[in-house]
Amino acid sequence: MDTEQTHCSKSAEFDGRLWDVARLLRTGDVERARVESALLLADAESAGFDWVAEQLLDLWAAQEPSRRSA
């Protein structure tokens, strides 16, 4: 596997993990979403995927209004 294929494979892995966090938030499993987010951030940082942190921030920011209204 060359570098570009590895990069695309890792990117797809992080996309899947972001989807998992979004699903956990939608179902109300906030504690598990926090744990998964922390693990994902650590892995993304070591892989150099800064965009993952931005996506996680967006997911959690979108969660705030619904949690306040609940």
Q: What is the pLDDT of residue 67?
A: 62
* Nearest 10 degrees: Cα torsion 59, 61, 66, 70: 120
Residues 6+ apart with CB under 8 A from 70: none
Inter-CA distances, 41 with 1, 11, 46, 66, Å:
25, 13, 9, 23
Q: What is the pTM of this model?
A: 0.80
Q: What is the pLDDT of residue 61?
A: 96
pLDDT band at 64 (very low <50, low <70, confident <90, very high): confident
pLDDT of residue 28 exceeding 70: yes
- pLDDT tens digits for 2-26? 666 666 788 899 999 999 999 999 9
